[in-house]
Amino acid sequence: MATNNSSFEFSLFSHLVLNLLILLLATSTKTANSNAFSIKEATIEGIQLAFRQNQLTSRQLVQFYIGEIRRLNAVLNAVIEVNPDALYQADKADYERKFKAPGSLVGSHGIPVLLKDMIGTKDKLNTTAGSFALLGSVVARDAGVVMKLRKAGAIILGKASLSEWADFRSLQAPNGFSARGGQGKNLYVLSADPCGSSSGPAISVAANLVAVSLGTETDGSILCPSSSNSVVGIKPTVGLTSLASVIPVSPRQDTIGPICRTVADAVYVLDAIAGVDYNDPTTKVASYYIPYGGYKQFLKPYGLKGKRLGIVRNPFFNFDKGSPLTEAFNYHLQTLRQQGAVLVDYLEIANIDVILNATASGEAAALVAEFKLALNAYVKELVASPVRSLAEVIAFNENFSDIEKIEEFGQDIFLAAQATNGIGNTEKAALLNLASFQEM
């Protein structure tokens, strides 16, 4: 018995020592990696440098982001789906970089990207606008912007959450809510408004769930969540980025743009996604205005010098005198001045109250009619879909009101859109009124 006890004690001791060594090795490896390169808050330029210096691989980058999504998404509800092929795409990027394939050492190559769940992908991911009504639908092809990202070597990490149907289902639904994604939360103050409708892309970037994301905007849906979550969003001119295979609200107003942590990153991504897509004719005209060499050439340390910037305080920045918001705002204005910008403060925009009033401006009347036409066309072109019209989406919501939270939030915008009958006299008058504001 003594011998057996001794053997048992030795085996137990050896086992404990072995586990301790493994733990120490794992910790030292993790520490060494973190000392070599910190992924949190990393920029595209920093990541590319780490790639070139063999401090980081795309696989490690994807694994880190997936780990952060698993750790934080239960609280933030920023991501709806992770791409099951993301690691395969990462390995492909690492292989191309190893053999110095053309374009593999710069730009978006090997960089993971989260897409707002309005942007179609022809892969294992769903494209649903955050609604169960489109779960299982299949797009005919990748969205034009996704094609360009893949061509640049980017990794499609997954689909980000959003305000359901780009905040065009109901006036009562809170920003950042979707049936599939839940209620998105502002990273900095969980009870604060994350804004929308591109809430998920902005929250994800702010929380280091990814460095790069794409949002869509019809009216403030990139700019507002970017502001609320302290990240950088660019709303491109309509036509600069393709809308092909993207769930629409209004082809006249919709656009797709980057949401990132820095201006430089947003510009790099804009360069990757802007340009002609023959599945979206509007991109041909807009492409004439893309500068030769892209936009990154204008990223200069002293680029603000001599630039005139208008500050429209009313109604956007009317803060109480002496409030922390006023102090922070004035501090940033002073920073702009120190960098050489010429600020035209207290700039007034004529008819701003009418412009910002969707009913008075005619925007609401135009959008509901355009939405019905555009959505019906979109779902009819899908390879497979549980619904084939706005009317069927409305019926789905009524049949599954519990999961879509119809009793809580309703679908009044959908019902208003369904009641329209194309672009009639009312809609034409609304569009003429909107056009008049552009001519001021």
Residue 81 DSSP SS3 = strand
In contact, 329 and 317? CB cutoff 8 Å: yes
Tell me, yes or no, if 14 is annotated catalytic: no
Question: With 0-12 CB in 10 A as exposed, 13-18 as middle and 19+ as buried, what is 322?
Answer: exposed
The partner residues of 183 in beta bridges, in order of sequence, read: 177
SS3 sequence of 316-337: HCCCCCCCHHHHHHHHHHHHHH
Is residue 58 flagged as an active site residue? no
Residue 320's CB is within 10 A of a number of other CB atoms, namely: 8
Rounded distance, CA 91 to CA 113, Å? 15
How far from 136 is each of 128, 312, 382, 387, 397, CA to CA, in Å?
8, 45, 11, 10, 16
Q: Which residue has the tokens 């892969």?
A: 123
Q: 58, 108, 170, 197: which is the annotated catalytic residue?
A: 197
Secondary structure letter of residue 291 according to DSSP: P
Choose the catalytic residue: 58, 104, 116, 250: 116
DSSP state of 134: G
The residues facing 317 across adjacent strands are none
Catalytic entry in 163, 213, 221, 361: 221
How far is it, in rounded angstroms, from Cα 92 to Cα 166? Answer: 33
Amino acid at 241: T
CA within 13 Å, CB half, 136: 7
Please say if 163 is a catalytic residue: no
Q: Are 86 and 92 in contact (CB under 8 A)?
A: no
Give 369: exposed, middle or buried? Use CB within 10 Å, 0-12, 13-18, 19+. Answer: buried
Q: What DSSP string describes 91-130?
A: HHHHHHHHTT-TTTTSTTTT-EEEEETTB--SSSS---TT
Dihedral angle, C-alpha 189, 194, 199, 201, nearest 10 °: -30
Pair type for strands 308-310 and 342-344? parallel
Residue reference for tokens 């600020």: 343
The residues carrying an active-site annotation are 116, 197, 221
